[in-house]
């Protein structure tokens, strides 16, 4: 990518699933994922549920049925950093015999713990990253998955948005096979203007069996708008039992239709793991093919300079906070279009369904990790590691979406980075992480525009700088 940097002024202002019916336990099937639509919820403002054994099925009464996605607070008032609350979710599942499953929580804010049939099976501490949860030990017939969510927080980490808590994004449950493809990311790419297309991606193969898989393979299928499909294998060396291996790949595609705001052409992608000719797991997504780069200080899309007018948004709707429904997503798209905007920015990776909608409507996305004004925290090695996880989570979320044109690693860190070794060290790490994970997009950072701050060496490694300017 050319070394020239782009200066941008920004003012801050696919998975297919089978819906499950409400009421009785959600009936799981092999093949297509099952979307969890309704669960039971019980508030725990006094934080007594752990000591009273609410994790055990049948112990507590007073559950009420709620729709997923869901926020635990009915309203938020006062300071923009409220303390939060605690709540419990009960998800009842009916599973067939001889099949193992994984639950995928797209987002739970903030901390969560999980029990399956009374046995603790996991926890999650990232309020903006997804949580794949192995339902190890699920049995034939009825099962109860209990999720405790705690979104209490102090002032740190600072976040300039409301602290909504709960299972705020969709949940799906999928059957898993002997060969799993975890952390799968696939995107369409044009290496240069006029070049043939390629699928670029990475996947972690996991042998969940008890013996070596001699030929681990994932069949990647691509269907163009006319319905024509081509398939290519992604292979790796023999994989021993219970081992994982990261595999990066580039698959040549040939001539493709390019994605652009005026012509948002999308391709369907499937990824099927196979062992000894037998299909194991299936994932679906969509992507588009375009080239993005920086030339002579201009951000280029498909060889043409971009002239953008944008808006900054938060996932926050009246009455539901961050728990967006399909109608809310349609409303956001209409609002963006109504003001003539063609690019959107947020302080965290957006809802998968909202990114899908931006893909379909040709709305560009400035994808940003939720590392917000954390300069003090970045002096700590542990906090730097967590912030890198946040960066990677945002990269994963935006990877397959052609609407995502820039990966920004942070917002408004200390303006004087030259004299701040902890922040400078982290910026180096974040830049390398972003380029290694996603070589197809420019890497940027967002800054507060202040007078009398000279050039900062740590920023010279980024392709794009976003300046926040506050007037008045």
pLDDT one-digit tens code per residue, 63-106: 999 999 999 987 665 555 567 899 999 999 999 998 999 999 99
Which residue's entry shows tokens 């939720």? 370
Direct distance between the N- and C-terminal alpha carbons of the chain, in angstroms, rounded to an integer: 38
Chain segment 406-422, per-residue pLDDT in tens? 999 999 998 888 888 88
- Domain-located, residue 404: yes
For residues 277 and 307, membership in a common domain is answered with no
Q: Is residue 263 located within the same domain as residue 322?
A: no
Q: Are residues 184 and 313 in the same domain?
A: no
- pLDDT number for residue 19: 41
E strand or H helix that includes residue 424: helix 421-437
| Predicted TM-score of the model (pTM) | 0.91
* 282 shares a domain with 157: no
Please give the pLDDT value at position 205: 96
Residues 363 and 430 in one domain: yes
Give yes or no: residues 136 and 103 share one domain: yes
For the chain, what percent of residues have pLDDT higher than 90?
78
Average pLDDT of the chain, as a whole number: 90
Do 197 and 256 fall into the same domain?
yes
Residue 461 domain-assigned?
A: yes
End residue of a domain, out of 287, 311, 338: 287
The per-residue pLDDT for 15 is 34
Pair 114, 42 in one domain:
yes
Mean pLDDT over 9-14 rounds to 36
Alpha carbon distance 204, 185 (integer Å)? 10
The total domain count for the chain is 3
Q: Which residues contact 55 (CB under 8 A, 6 or more apart)?
A: 49, 113, 115, 118, 120, 146, 148
Instruction: Decide if 26 is inside a domain.
Output: yes
Is residue 1 in some structural domain? no
Do residues 184 and 280 share a domain?
yes
Last residue of a domain, one of 223, 257, 287: 287
Cα 352 to Cα 26, 157, 171, 181, distances in angstroms: 23, 24, 12, 19
Cis amide leading into 69 (omega within 30): yes
> What residue numbers bound the domain in which 460 lies?
6-14+300-468
**Do both 226 and 351 map to the same domain?**
no
Reported as a pLDDT band with limits 50, 70 and 90, residue 7 is very low
pLDDT at 13 over 60: no
Residues 343 and 277 in one domain: no
């Amino acid at each position: 990518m050319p070394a020239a940097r782009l200066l941008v002024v920004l003012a801050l202002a696919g998975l297919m699933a089978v819906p499950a019916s409400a009421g009785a336990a959600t009936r799981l099937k092999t093949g297509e994922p099952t979307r969890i639509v309704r669960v039971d919820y019980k508030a725990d403002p006094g934080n007594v549920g752990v000591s009273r054994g609410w994790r055990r099925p049948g112990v507590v009464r007073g559950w009420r049925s709620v729709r997923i996605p869901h926020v635990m607070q009915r309203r938020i008032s006062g300071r923009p950093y409220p303390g939060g609350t605690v709540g419990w979710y009960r998800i009842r599942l009916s599973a067939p015999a001889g099949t193992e499953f994984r639950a995928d929580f797209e987002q739970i804010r903030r901390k969560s713990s999980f029990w399956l049939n009374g046995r603790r099976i996991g926890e999650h501490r990232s309020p903006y990253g997804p949580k794949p949860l192995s339902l190890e030990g699920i049995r034939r017939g009825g099962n109860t998955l209990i999720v405790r969510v705690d979104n209490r927080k102090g002032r740190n980490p600072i976040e300039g948005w409301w602290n909504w808590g709960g299972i705020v994004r969709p949940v799906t449950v999928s059957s898993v096979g002997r060969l799993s493809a975890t952390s799968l990311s696939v995107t369409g790419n044009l290496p240069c203007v006029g070049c043939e297309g390629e699928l670029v991606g990475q996947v972690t193969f996991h042998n969940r069996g008890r013996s070596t898989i001699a030929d681990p393979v994932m069949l990647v299928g691509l269907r163009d708008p006319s319905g024509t499909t081509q398939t290519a294998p992604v292979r790796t060396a023999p994989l021993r039992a219970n081992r994982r291996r990261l595999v990066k790949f580039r698959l040549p595609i040939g001539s493709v239709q390019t994605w652009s705001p005026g012509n948002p052409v999308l391709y369907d992608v499937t990824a099927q793991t196979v062992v000894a000719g037998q299909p194991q797991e299936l994932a679906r997504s969509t992507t588009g093919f375009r080239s993005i780069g920086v030339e002579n200080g201009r951000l280029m899309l498909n060889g043409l300079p971009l002239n953008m007018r944008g808006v900054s948004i938060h996932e926050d709707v009246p009455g539901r906070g961050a728990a967006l429904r399909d109608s809310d997503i349609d409303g956001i798209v209409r609002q963006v279009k109504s003001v003539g905007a063609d690019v959107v920015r947020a302080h965290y990776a957006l809802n998968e369904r909202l990114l899908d909608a931006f893909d379909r409507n040709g709305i560009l996305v400035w994808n940003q990790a939720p590392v917000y004004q954390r300069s003090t925290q970045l002096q700590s090695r542990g906090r730097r590691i967590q912030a890198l996880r946040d960066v990677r989570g945002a990269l994963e979320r935006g990877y397959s979406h052609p609407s995502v044109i820039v990966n920004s690693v942070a917002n408004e860190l200390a303006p004087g980075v030259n004299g701040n070794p902890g922040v400078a060290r982290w910026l180096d790490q974040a830049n390398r992480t972003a380029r290694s994970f996603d070589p197809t997009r420019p890497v940027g950072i967002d800054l507060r525009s202040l007078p009398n701050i000279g050039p900062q060496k740590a920023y010279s490694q980024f392709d794009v700088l976003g300046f926040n300017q506050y007037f008045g």
